Structure 1
Amino acid sequence: MLKTKVFFKKTKRGSVLKVVREHYLRNDIYCGSSGCRHCQENENFKPVLMPDSISKSDLVPLPHYIIPDTNVVLHQISILESPVIHNVIILSTVLQEVRNKSPPAYKRLRDLLANENKRFYIFVNEHHFETYVEQEPGEEDNDRNDRAIRRACFWYQEHLTSVPGKRKRDPNITIVLLTDDRDNREAAIRDGIKAYSTSEYVESLKGHPELQDLVAKIGTCIFIDNKKSVFPDHLPASVVHDGIKQKKYLQGAFQASRENYLEGFVNIEGMEKPVLIQGLSHLNRAVHDDIVAVELLPQNQWSAPSGIVLEEKVDDQGDAVEENEVGEPKDHLSEAQPTGKVVGIIKRKWRHYCGILQPSIIKDRNMHLFIPAERRIPKIRIETRQAETLSKQRIVVAIDSWPRNSRYPLGHFVRALGEVGDKATENEVLLLEHDIPHSHFSEAVLACLPKLPWAIREEDIEKREDLRHLVICSVDPPGCTDIDDALHCRELTNGNLEVGVHIADVTHFIRPGTAIDQEAAARGTTVYLVDNRIDMVPELLSSNLCSLRGNEERFAFSVIWEVNKKAEILSTHFCKSIICSKAALTYEHAQLKIDDSRLNDEVTCSLRRLNSLAKILKKQRMDKGALILASPEIRFEVDSETHDPIDVEVKQLRETNSMVEEFMLLANISVAKKILEDFPECAVLRRHPPPPNANFDPLIKAAKSRGFTIRIDSGKGLADSLDAAVVPDNPYFNTMLRIVATRCMMQAVYFSTGTVQEEDFYHYGLAAPIYTHFTSPIRRYADILVHRLLAASIGSDSTYSHLLDKHTVQHLCNNLNYRHRMALYAGRASAQLHTRLFFKDRIEQQEGYVLFVRKNALVILIPKYGLEGNLFLNRDCEGGTSVQFQFNEEEPSQTCGKVTFRLFDKVIVQISINASNVQHQKMVLKLVHPTVPGFSVPSQDLSKGDVSVSSSEEMAKKRKKKS
């Protein structure tokens, strides 16, 4: 049967367009039940639903199938994922609504549908002759969809309980509608359908009380003792929408402060500085990453960030509202920044959160507080009957709602991860918190891999340039198995030099649209943790067939230049190739070869030529204004059996590090020019936006405190002023200044050239007009996209049609930017985890530097371990004494008696771990030197062997001696 749908659509130009769509209805769509007497008669029928494998319910004693409405799928997906729940019918109405409203919930639902053991069945009710319903005049979409769901429930009930050819009822199978909408539930009951709320149905399941903890608390209201509202009302969506349209309100992403949970910021497009939000009332239940509507306060109420580092209150149990720690209004408005308040929530970005349970101190109470691992997420109040068991485990919790009379949002328990402190559990938390895909590769992905033994065939040689005769070698960190780049340099007969960068040809094995390609695109990047690596592609490719290992023939994508002795490029050649690396070296090994004058073999000579050219290339980049920034990076020596950290050292950078970097940069720039030339609308490039001037305020103030001026008018000016900022008696000063400069930068991002103006292609950090990523396709999907475009440019591969739409490419780039950022944060979190493990049973005294001065703390950087910690001031010390520091915001500085602490001052601190807060175990720093009476801890006797003190100069001597 054919129906037509007619509706009118308004175009961008204001004209009205009549749209007519055909809607086909059928009567031969199967119900999916093995107990159906109608559908069994058809030989093509394949049953999914099995009535003999259904949980027993006190409400529904007979075998039954569950039909959830859209809101149950959206909010109670954890219940549906439980192993207890089977035989669920998902209507196409529900499936489409979930897809439109929540991509994460839609993905989880698709996973359930793909799990044969769960027996979830899609019934296409929108195309069935007897279940399709027309939308009535004036009827809301939601009401029409609820009616369609009830119609499908009624049809199933009649269909499954009647005998073919007769209308005799056979009450062996029952249909249960799950809906938390009271009106929908009452309407279903009037139609003779068994309908229950999720909580009613879950409570009726025999022998599964733990499921009650999984029920989402939607619309629940919590009353506190004084019954006063903690927060103001949010404005209705229509008012917010109109206010944004009239520019009365601003919208942006809310970013909670890491140092002060009573502060946050909202980044507004077009505004140089973010809008500052201070105090509980003004934060108004915004959660980190939510899209919010903000109302600016009058300019005389603008403020500045408080500069206070708030320590967590571990024992908080109630809804007591803390005093707001807010910034003080400035006399000079130029020193303040736009300040506002949240008036509405446009879009919640809630997800599942990992953390621990803080059981209530009140016995026999089922309401408890959950402490998230992410500091920027507020505590969550959940109801559970398993508090005693869960208090010893890492658990996952979801937020359901945040009533205005509750200090904390309300949520529900999802699942337990494992024992607190177990390393595998802590790593799982780390990966989940940073949304890192880390499941095993599926059978479909593994089926895309080549069969072993694998060898290069004659037809492969005919399609590629044979470069196996060249003296090619790779230079990588120690222990690297995913070697994706190699180099060569040889002298030509005309006196010039031939330089080649050879990159693993991953796209030979990963074809567009395959399961392995889709998985790599979803993962986006390989994630490097201290003791583990989460590969983007299976190990057979990453560590074997695509890894350019020494003395093994491999496929490569090569960029070959002819350059003169001044490193000027005379010609560039791109080709698919076959190479055989003559050596796989570490940075240290390559440096020893270059420095050893007795060695003159082909590999060493090639390295020396490359190193000489790299120095020229680097100088050319620096002259153009490329920045040399810094970050505190460390390397852990891990026990081979336990994988626990046993030693820590700062990463060493040698000339060979810079040598490899220069040629990778050159290859990336050359490839970027080529693909932009041939694909001006859809080339995948990487840009680094220049920071707004306001970003440089901390850097300018930090340099000014030591008498230096930082120029920010251009990248070249910034680079030159950083080079000039040198303090002879403090060799670490310039490094710290560059660390501060790094934090002023914007994030570099991938983009499709057709979506960005050409003047915005610029890479600020590299001072490069155009740039891309080509040199690491084993670990970055962006490089795979670039390889495909480059292959199309040189005519060696034609499978690139999927990259011709700029919007499709930009969608891929958006995911890559997100995955790259999460991988970076996960790597840092892994280093922090292992630092805590390293200090678990030790106390050390180490040299540190004052990186920032806050109102109540000094932020100390410990170079040896690359870590930062807060040294809190104005606190009660041992023996009951109280020490007061005076904060000078202008310098900035902290003074107590005759001792003053300024930016970049050297100190000695005692480092230990505070394990009292199980969720947020953190480094505790105590001052050793300079001595502040009543505040400093005594320097310990180093002869006892339980502590150590080392300066950056001593560390350098040790490294030199070791090498």
Structure 2
Amino acid sequence: MVEITIRKRPRSEAVITQRKFFKKTARGKVIKVLRERYLRDDVGCGIHNCRECSEACTPSSSLLPESGAEHSLFPDGHFVLPDTNVFLSQMDLLESSLFRPPIILLQTVVEEVRHRSLPLYNRLKALMAMDDKSIWTFYNEYRSETAVVREENETPNDRNDRGIRKATAWYKEHLQLNNPPVRGKAPRKLPTFVLLTEDAANRQKAEKEGLVSLSVRKYVEGMKDSPQLLDLLASIEADEIEPTRAAGGKQILYSEYLPSATLISGVKAGDLHQGHFNANQYNYLEGSVSVPAFTKPVLLIGRENMNRATSGDIVVVEVFPDSEWKAPADEVVDQDSTLKNDDVESGDEDEAEDDIVTRTESKVTSSEKRSSEKQPTGRVVGVIKRNWRPYVCHIDSTSLTSINSTSLSVQTVFATPVSRLLPRIRLRTRQAPSLIGQKILVSIDRWDVTSRYPEGHFVRALGKVESKEAEQESLLLEFDVPYRPFGKAILDCLPKEGEQWVVPPKSDTSPEWREREDLRSVTICSIDPPGCQDIDDALHARRLPNGNIEAGVHIADVSHFVHADTPMDSEAASRGTTVYLVDKRIDMLPSLLGTNLCSLRPYVERLAFSAIWELTPDADIVNVRFTKSVIASKAAFTYEEAQIRKDDPNQKDDLTEGIRLLNSIAIKLKAKRMAAGALNLASPEVKIHLDSSESSDPIDVEQKELRETNSLVEEFMLLANISVAQKIQETFPQTAVLRRHMPPPKTNFEKLQDILQKRKGLTLDVSSSGSLAASLDKCIDSEEPAFNTLVRIMATRCMLSAEYFCSGSVARDTFGHYGLASPIYTHFTSPIRRYADVLAHRQLAAAIGYSPLHPSLHGKSHVERILDVVNRRHRMAQMASRASVEFYVGLALKGREERNKASGAGAVTEEAFVIRTFRNGLGVFVSSLGIEGLIMFKNDLQQFDAENYTLSIPAPSGPPVTISVFDKVVVRIEVEKDKNTQRGRVKMTLVSPIDSKNM
């Protein structure tokens, strides 16, 4: 039981002892915690020209009431006080530039939003900072007349609702008291205080207390721009209307989710299993959930068993008995092509889907024989956390009932997401005709058991499909990349000198030179890709008198400029990483830092954090030291320039000799890593040539060339990251920011092992990283040099993703990096573009005694929360980069196709490897372009051999042609509009060994 006491203090202040409880510390000590809240009577109301609050409410920040012309219900003006549920459900409306009433934001609401949803809390903070919004934050919990304490048997939610109503009533009385009637004058008409809430019970209580309270929909209907704003409203009445729909004859299509308590207890007991839902990119009627209890993911077949889960949701699954386990289907099933005639107003489309499931399952006779491919099979019984967010979509024009662009009547239409992993979204909008041919943003609101599709609401239009501006923004939104310009509060954190900032002259009193080593005379250089502006790292090497070698890695000292608990630090933590697209870069930090003050440009002095080793000529480490430093890089090379300089026997200057020395050590470091079991994997990388004009249109595409100098830089960055990881983990064993790569389950390699054995007679040993590395070296086809690279690419896709973690959060024996064969690893070398590196810099600075560690980095839970965000941002950034490359490859190929047609050269053709066989198609990889594609067959005459990974295709004359995995084929490449993305997509057809154009 919580004790509540109020003690009066001078000046009408009081302190409420709200909560007394006992807490156990990390060392096992029990302490008593007493939380107090001080009340005062001078918390400003925020109303313009309020006489009582004039000192607290400055003219620049106080609110003016909304005029009567802006709302039909309040001719004398009004203010709105939104309840918590308004921010939780209607944030898209509140963020709209058309929604601009003066908002009184209660402290109770802010704290409840923070408690309920951190992403929405971050959006709320951004909303409060918008220049075009009128928002006053009222600290009702600290004003004596509005503070409330929780009563006995009162729920926290009821307490908060009562506090919100009390604050609304106080505002009404406060304005009346400050505007007393004047004798001889008509009473002044005062503005109305409107409590906005989606809670019907709260509205009823407010009305009984004499307050004006409206639902958001009712309020918006009276606004000047109501037609556009009503489209932004999320549908939130699911619990109220679902029974009505079912009773009205709607078929129940899905099972109800189990209660939360049942889900939690079931997972704890091991009867149920929790994990992330992953949609199948080739078959929209299959999904899977990886759970700790099974080595293979739990397979979900059919929409009923996926039970309204969307990609990325955290779900709970029930696993069927072993006798009902199945193997995944071997057919490509595309939602758009199979459900062309869905009725947007009904659920009749389930008959078409049921037919597809039945047809697909009837064809898996060969799959059933492969008992080794069977997986645990089950169904979703609950959702722990939705992954819903605004999605980039386009309106399916076939679902419109009216194409009259001037009509503002509500239509129900399908919105097709860009991502094939998502279902179509049923959408009610007044703007459907005008949105045809545009990319739009849509939020999912609910998914009823009576609807085959989720329901959502329109957020905003992005622009015409295939326009470069709309496609760029679409791509960023699709992968949830923060791209808004840096705000004033963030830019105010930059040095006031701006671009004129320089390292001051060396002196004992200069803070920049405090405990820094002067390395300006050392021959340091950087080696980066062409056009690199954010130069994170530079290197040097020189011989020592004792015959050993000194090698140094010098990293931009970002933490000197980015301090903890500042707006710039918070923004960098939220962005997590810089995102590199083909034609632009979305920076983690303002460009003044990233491309100027922190960038280790040549010929200028820069602050750095240096790792300096003494190594033997055989690359054995004698010692390593870390120091803050000042450097002056002597040159900035591209990989190609450094390679040419190294290979030129006429070059014998200090810079060239340093590069050669670095290279000789790097070769030996790599040899040691490989001997320890490090993997030499591969991923397709291409270089896109852009037009040098302002259009930046892609001209052509080719494979990237990797040189010896690429490996040189890589080896020393790895060495620096490993050395720093060891140091910070020794000093901060509970909170060190590290990175690990977990060993993949052996089952991940089963199919690749089977294919290699059956098609090439090769064995892949996955017992350890060293065994895998050795066996990959033996995967050679003497007639095909590219075969080994292809196998390495396929092996890479069997791996787990690397992740950042807090050292005290996982077992010590799981720290290792499987791919690098290193027992410990972190990221230190790119603080301009990765926030994890900034944290590692702060910890290393504390570890060497340069500066104290910020208190937040002593807390394990705080570090975990930051790294969760950084891990997610890192994954999304990688996907955004790949999507950008894919988009520009498509544009470049379209240009090549048009040039070929103009010159009469014919269609674009390329050699490709078959990497997967389906019952109705082939998956191929074009190594010269670094892209994959599907070759689909329209008829049903192919013979599929799942056991041997072959597909026999009837020939126009002669016997059928059999194609298997690893075969080389020739494909015809065309670019067509993708039905999901509405962008150009590479379409492939088989040319050789058989032309499939008309098949």
- Whether these two folds match at TM > 0.5 is yes
Structure 2 residue identity aligned to 1:68: P
Measure how far apart 1:744 and its partner are: 1.0
Structure 2 residue identity aligned to 1:190: K
Which residue is equivalent to 1:179?
197
The 3-state SS of whatever aligns with 1:636 is: strand
Whole-Å separation in 1 of the counterparts to 2:793 and 2:445: 40
Structure 2 residue identity aligned to 1:354: V
**Taking structure 1 as reference, are residues 55 and 180 closer, same or farther at Cα in structure 2, changes over 3 Å only?**
farther
Q: Do structure 1's residue 522 and structure 2's residue 574 form an aligned pair?
A: yes
Which residue is equivalent to 1:97?
112
Asked if 2 retains the 8 angstrom alpha-carbon contact of 1:89 and 1:122, the reply is yes
Measure how far apart 1:289 and its partner are: 1.4
- Which stretch shifts more, 631-640 or 569-578? 569-578
- Which stretch shifts more, 487-496 or 529-538? 487-496
Whole-Å separation in 1 of the counterparts to 2:128 and 2:56: 23
Q: Do structure 1's residue 905 and structure 2's residue 953 form an aligned pair?
A: no
**Taking structure 1 as reference, are residues 572 and 22 closer, same or farther at Cα in structure 2, changes over 3 Å only?**
closer
- Which stretch shifts more, 257-266 or 161-170? 161-170
The 3-state SS of whatever aligns with 1:560 is: strand
Whole-Å separation in 1 of the counterparts to 2:379 and 2:393: 29
The 3-state SS of whatever aligns with 1:694 is: helix
Measure how far apart 1:54 and its partner are: 6.1
Partner deviation per Cα, 1:255-305 (whole Å, 9 max, x = no partner): 212221111111223432221111011111111111222111121111122
Structure 1 residue identity aligned to 2:43: I
Which residue is equivalent to 2:386?
348
Q: Do structure 1's residue 190 and structure 2's residue 208 form an aligned pair?
A: yes
Partner deviation per Cα, 1:896-950 (whole Å, 9 max, x = no partner): 2431111111011111122262635432111100015xx3469xxxxxxxxxxxx
Measure how far apart 1:52 and its partner are: 5.0
Whole-Å separation in 2 of the counterparts to 1:144 and 1:931: 73
Whole-Å separation in 2 of the counterparts to 1:19 and 1:491: 60
Which residue is equivalent to 1:65?
79
Whole-Å separation in 1 of the counterparts to 2:66 and 2:137: 19
Asked if 2 retains the 8 angstrom alpha-carbon contact of 1:162 and 1:170, the reply is no
Q: Provide the TM-score with structure 1 as the length reference.
A: 0.91
Whole-Å separation in 1 of the counterparts to 2:388 and 2:316: 17
Q: Do structure 1's residue 931 and structure 2's residue 994 form an aligned pair?
A: yes
Which residue is equivalent to 2:900?
none
Measure how far apart 1:43 and its partner are: 8.5
Which residue is equivalent to 1:919?
981
Whole-Å separation in 1 of the counterparts to 2:271 and 2:653: 72
Which residue is equivalent to 2:310?
287
Q: Do structure 1's residue 759 and structure 2's residue 813 form an aligned pair?
A: yes
Match of 1:454 among 487, 498, 501: 501
Whole-Å separation in 2 of the counterparts to 1:771 and 1:10: 34
**Taking structure 1 as reference, are residues 54 and 785 closer, same or farther at Cα in structure 2, changes over 3 Å only?**
farther
Whole-Å separation in 2 of the counterparts to 1:394 and 1:64: 36
Match of 2:218 among 200, 210, 230: 200
Match of 1:160 among 175, 178, 185: 175
1:785-864 equivalent positions in 2, closer than 5 A: 785-798=839-852, 800-840=854-894, 842=897, 843-864=907-928
**Taking structure 1 as reference, are residues 81 and 167 closer, same or farther at Cα in structure 2, changes over 3 Å only?**
farther
- Which stretch shifts more, 182-191 or 257-266? 182-191
Measure how far apart 1:665 and its partner are: 1.4
Q: Do structure 1's residue 338 and structure 2's residue 376 form an aligned pair?
A: yes
The 3-state SS of whatever aligns with 2:221 is: helix
Aligned length: 929
**Taking structure 1 as reference, are residues 805 and 153 closer, same or farther at Cα in structure 2, changes over 3 Å only?**
closer
Which residue is equivalent to 2:605?
553
Q: Could you list the runs of 5+ residues in structure 2 that have no partner in the other structure?
A: 1-13, 403-408, 898-906, 955-959
Asked if 2 retains the 8 angstrom alpha-carbon contact of 1:504 and 1:556, the reply is yes
The 3-state SS of whatever aligns with 1:277 is: strand
Which residue is equivalent to 2:933?
869
Structure 1 residue identity aligned to 2:135: F
Whole-Å separation in 1 of the counterparts to 2:585 and 2:123: 25
Match of 1:249 among 261, 272, 288: 272
Partner deviation per Cα, 1:78-102 (whole Å, 9 max, x = no partner): 2222333311122222222211111
Whole-Å separation in 2 of the counterparts to 1:557 and 1:11: 39
Whole-Å separation in 2 of the counterparts to 1:612 and 1:440: 44
**Taking structure 1 as reference, are residues 187 and 618 closer, same or farther at Cα in structure 2, changes over 3 Å only?**
same
Whole-Å separation in 2 of the counterparts to 1:341 and 1:205: 45
Whole-Å separation in 2 of the counterparts to 1:719 and 1:418: 48
**Taking structure 1 as reference, are residues 382 and 648 closer, same or farther at Cα in structure 2, changes over 3 Å only?**
same
Whole-Å separation in 2 of the counterparts to 1:166 and 1:201: 30
**Taking structure 1 as reference, are residues 684 and 129 closer, same or farther at Cα in structure 2, changes over 3 Å only?**
closer
Whole-Å separation in 1 of the counterparts to 2:144 and 2:703: 70
Structure 2 residue identity aligned to 1:884: L
Q: Provide the TM-score with structure 2 as the length reference.
A: 0.88
Partner deviation per Cα, 1:790-837 (whole Å, 9 max, x = no partner): 233333334555433333333332222222211111110110111222
- Which stretch shifts more, 270-279 or 918-927? 918-927
Whole-Å separation in 1 of the counterparts to 2:54 and 2:521: 68
The 3-state SS of whatever aligns with 2:710 is: helix
Structure 1 residue identity aligned to 2:320: L
Q: Do structure 1's residue 579 and structure 2's residue 631 form an aligned pair?
A: yes
Asked if 1 retains the 8 angstrom alpha-carbon contact of 2:611 and 2:720, the reply is yes
**Taking structure 1 as reference, are residues 515 and 11 closer, same or farther at Cα in structure 2, changes over 3 Å only?**
closer
Q: Do structure 1's residue 33 and structure 2's residue 47 form an aligned pair?
A: yes
**Taking structure 1 as reference, are residues 28 and 517 closer, same or farther at Cα in structure 2, changes over 3 Å only?**
closer
The 3-state SS of whatever aligns with 2:270 is: coil
Partner deviation per Cα, 1:848-906 (whole Å, 9 max, x = no partner): 11011123221111111111111113x1xxxxxx4611111112111124311111110
Whole-Å separation in 2 of the counterparts to 1:239 and 1:563: 60
Whole-Å separation in 1 of the counterparts to 2:860 and 2:162: 41
1:114-513 equivalent positions in 2, closer than 5 A: 114-115=129-130, 117-162=132-177, 170-220=188-238, 227-313=250-336, 315-318=340-343, 319=347, 320-321=349-350, 322-323=353-354, 324-325=356-357, 328=364, 330=368, 333-359=371-397, 360-363=399-402, 366-450=411-495, 451=497, 452-456=499-503, 457-459=505-507, 460=512, 463-513=515-565
Structure 2 residue identity aligned to 1:277: L
Asked if 1 retains the 8 angstrom alpha-carbon contact of 2:843 and 2:853, the reply is no
**Taking structure 1 as reference, are residues 17 and 331 closer, same or farther at Cα in structure 2, changes over 3 Å only?**
farther
**Taking structure 1 as reference, are residues 15 and 317 closer, same or farther at Cα in structure 2, changes over 3 Å only?**
farther
Which residue is equivalent to 2:730?
677
- Which stretch shifts more, 255-264 or 174-183? 174-183
- Which stretch shifts more, 252-261 or 168-177? 168-177
Asked if 2 retains the 8 angstrom alpha-carbon contact of 1:37 and 1:160, the reply is no
**Taking structure 1 as reference, are residues 890 and 390 closer, same or farther at Cα in structure 2, changes over 3 Å only?**
same
Asked if 2 retains the 8 angstrom alpha-carbon contact of 1:79 and 1:85, the reply is no
The 3-state SS of whatever aligns with 2:845 is: helix
- Which stretch shifts more, 130-139 or 747-756? 130-139
Whole-Å separation in 2 of the counterparts to 1:806 and 1:401: 35
**Taking structure 1 as reference, are residues 357 and 798 closer, same or farther at Cα in structure 2, changes over 3 Å only?**
same
Q: Could you list the runs of 5+ residues in structure 1 that have no partner in the other structure?
A: 876-881, 939-963
